[in-house]
Structure 1
Amino acid sequence: MFSDLLRRLTAPEPQRLPDTDARLALGALLVRLARSDGDYAATEIAQIDHVLMRRYGLDQAGAQDLRAQCETLEAEAPDTVRFTRAIKDAVSHEDRLAVIEAMWAVVLSDGVRDEAEDSLMRMVAPLLGITDQESHRARLRVSAG
């Protein structure tokens, strides 16, 4: 189902993704992060739905449907390094920065900063072209809000 999107993402020179595909790719990163600690918690799922609703103007049912598609894509996506590097080349910096903020919202949603989630955040941010300082400021914004 997602083979065309994955093929385009992992092409030698990925092109900018259409909005529909960018939604799936970025949402899949949120799912990967939430699953990284082996506990895909209801609070994390609710936070992903909230991010998708707010970011894309979806209602609850639309966000749940998009998340389900993102869950499928995440399961089929290549390793995190290849996946995030491909997204970096295909998605604007502003969108990638917003994804880092959304990822911090997922990490913090269950009240526990798990070591696996922190490790994935430290790996993903630079692969997306986001500096440590930008990621730190994003985390502080999420913590404050």
Structure 2
Amino acid sequence: MSGLAGCGRLAYICAMFEALLRRMMAPAPNRLPDPEAHLALAALLVRIARADNDYSVAEMARIDRVLSSHYTLSPFAAAKLRAEAEVLEAEAPDTVRFTRALKEAVAHEDRAGLMQSLWAVALADGNRAAEEEQVLRLVANLLGLTDRDSALARQAVQRGGL
């Protein structure tokens, strides 16, 4: 019986991913409801962490802490959201779709906080990888932020934020 319940849960998760991917692949995605915006941010955090082809335990732990902090999630719920985001990120065609969805879901004045979260993940492993910086520069631009905004976010993280 529990196997059947697990199959139902898996089917639900697959349907959720398919619906989100359909919306994100559309020419102009609609504003995402909060649970899907949470998943889009989580997937973007995973994409940043994977950009240098070294997805470390430190980065995973930082993603969990960021998600827990942003959305008031338990450590277990944050890890579960990250695991769902890992699957979504691997299947998503590009970074633009995540950032476009987040730009619609997050007010401009709150996007600097998103950049801090992204930088916190990029710097979690102690390396400032060029590949991660390249993705972060693209993300900042797509979120309507300047290079200066991104630099200030990075500096805040380096001073001990997040």
CA drift of 1:10 comes to 3.1
2-structure distance, mates of 1:93, 1:86: 13
> How far, CA to CA, are the matches of 1:81 and 1:117 in structure 2?
15
Aligned to 1:4: 19
Q: Which residue of 2 aligns with 1:100?
A: 115
Matched, 1:27 2:42: yes
State the secondary structure of the residue aligned to 1:126.
Answer: helix
1:16: how far off?
Answer: 1.7
Q: Which amino acid aligns with 1:112?
A: N
> CA separation in 1, counterparts of 2:43 and 2:50?
10
Give the match's secondary structure for 1:97.
helix
Which has the larger Rg? 2
Counterparts of residues 55-134 of structure 1 (less than 5 Å): 55-134=70-149
The offset of 1:86, in angstroms, is 4.2
Gaps of 5+ in 1: none
1-structure distance, mates of 2:110, 2:36: 13
SS of the aligned residue for 1:109 comes to coil
| Distance apart, 1:122 and its partner CA | 1.3
Asked whether the equivalents of residues 10 and 86 of structure 1 are also in contact (C-alpha less than 8 Å), the reply is no
Unmatched 5+ residue regions in structure 2? 1-13
- If the length of structure 2 is used for normalisation, what is the TM-score? 0.82
Q: 1:52 & 1:81 partners in 2: Cα distance? A: 20
* Per-residue CA distance 1:47-68 (angstroms, 9 max, x = gap): 0000011111111111110100
What RMSD in Å do the two structures reach over aligned CA positions? 1.6
TM-score, reference length from structure 1: 0.91
Deviation at 1:89, TM superposition (A): 3.6
User: Percent identity among equivalent residues?
Assistant: 56
How many pairs were matched up?
A: 145
Q: Which moved more, 1:116-125 or 1:34-43?
A: 116-125
